[in-house]
Amino acid sequence: MTRKVIITCAPTGAIHTPSMSPYLPVTPAEIAEAAIAAAEAGATILHLHARDPNDGRPTQDPDVFREFLPRIRESCNAVINITTGGSPHMTVDERLQPALQLQPEVASLNMGSMNFGLYPMLKRFTEFRHEWERQHLENSRDLVFRNTFGDIERILTTCGENGTRFEFECYDISHLYNLAHFLDRGLVKPPLFVQSVFGILGGIGTHPEDLAHMRRTADRLLGRDYQWSILGAGGSQIRLASMGLTMGSNVRVGLEDSLWAGPGKLAESNVQQVAMIREVIAGLSLEVATPDEAREMLDLKGGDQVAF
């Protein structure tokens, strides 16, 4: 049987700012259009953040999510995944509200505290339309992205009570150990959806050995009852996803994680990145999982059980 690959697409995110790319979706209408187009291009799961439509600042206001989530749900069958990461500059209370109130099938969950350095991007981007953008990068020199054991347990229990399952975002090896800890305590249950994140300053790097180390450690700690996915930041997006595919992974693409469609070439849409990884999947004689196949693989509650 041909292996099915889950493609997650993250259309906008909280790392990049509007001045970095004219193609980054900002308004609710733009986010909805980008997400629906990515689903039509083959994305299985849509990982969604929201932005203030006035200046593009990341927001976890559930009312902003309500401006685009119903349209996306009505227009496609993709699994909707709402962030609880929000922005590293937000409190945990702010970050969990959209998933808590809107009860999606999946919510992202960062599995450990870490330094989160975005300031190297100031070398590449020097002109900004909004002052918050420069501060967003500069302030990351002293930024600790807080995800304590108490924070994680709170999100697991509050959002999990609604039947929401989780995309466990693991930026380093220690995060896999943290996930194993919650698995041992029975607070998370297989099948786990493990998103290995590579290339954020403060987390694991993008060397092929880093990828292999993540896979070996996840296998040892979590057994085989998990779905592995690869998120490569920046220029490593397609390269690391391609390597992961050969090792049995699923993949994540989108403008949240990378603005690029090749060296020095801005991606003009999320669809472009979905198409790029689909070429790799086809070249490896694999198939893209449909949303309903992903629901079965991840034991999700179904798109009719959400609150939007």
Q: What angle do the packed helices 270-283 and 28-41 form, to 10 degrees?
A: 20
Taking alpha carbons only, the member of 184, 187, 186, 203 closest to residue 195 is: 203
Angle in degrees, CA 253, 24, 6, rounded to 5: 20
CA distance 147 to 115: 11
**Residue type, position 198, single letter:** F
CA distance 20 to 125: 7
Instruction: Please report the pLDDT score of residue 158 as a whole number.
Output: 97
In this structure, the number of other CB atoms found within 10 A of the CB of residue 52 comes to 15
CA distance 63 to 66: 5
Length of the chain: 308
Q: Is the peptide bond before 191 cis (omega within 30 degrees of 0)?
A: yes
For the chain, 308 residues long, give each residue's pLDDT as a single digit of tens. 899 999 999 999 999 999 999 999 999 999 999 999 999 999 999 999 999 999 999 999 999 999 999 999 999 999 999 999 999 999 999 999 999 999 999 999 999 999 999 999 999 999 999 999 999 999 999 999 999 999 999 999 999 999 999 999 999 999 999 999 999 999 999 999 999 999 999 999 999 999 999 999 999 999 989 999 999 999 999 999 999 999 999 999 999 999 999 999 999 999 999 999 999 999 999 999 999 999 999 999 999 999 99
How far lies 3's CA from each of 119, 247, 285, in Å? Answer: 39, 12, 9
Q: What is the β-pairing status of strands 7-9 and 45-48? A: parallel
Residue 269 and residue 24 in contact, taking contact as beta carbons nearer than 8 Å? no
Instruction: Please report the pLDDT score of residue 1 as a whole number.
Output: 87
Q: Can you tell me which residue has the tokens 């609604």?
A: 162
Token pair of 195, please? 């998103």
* pTM check: above 0.85: yes
CA distance 9 to 261: 14
Q: Which letter does DSSP use for residue 243 in this model?
A: H
What ranges do the domains of the chain cover? 4-300
Taking alpha carbons only, the member of 48, 53, 49, 47 closest to residue 18 is: 53
Residue 128 and residue 17 in contact, taking contact as beta carbons nearer than 8 Å? yes
Residue 228 and residue 196 in contact, taking contact as beta carbons nearer than 8 Å? yes
In this structure, the number of other CB atoms found within 10 A of the CB of residue 126 comes to 9
249-282 as b/e: b if 16+ CB within 10 A: bbbbbbbbbbbbbeeeeebebbbbbbebbbebbe
CATH of domain 4-300: 3.20.20.70
Q: Can you tell me which residue has the tokens 């020199």?
A: 141
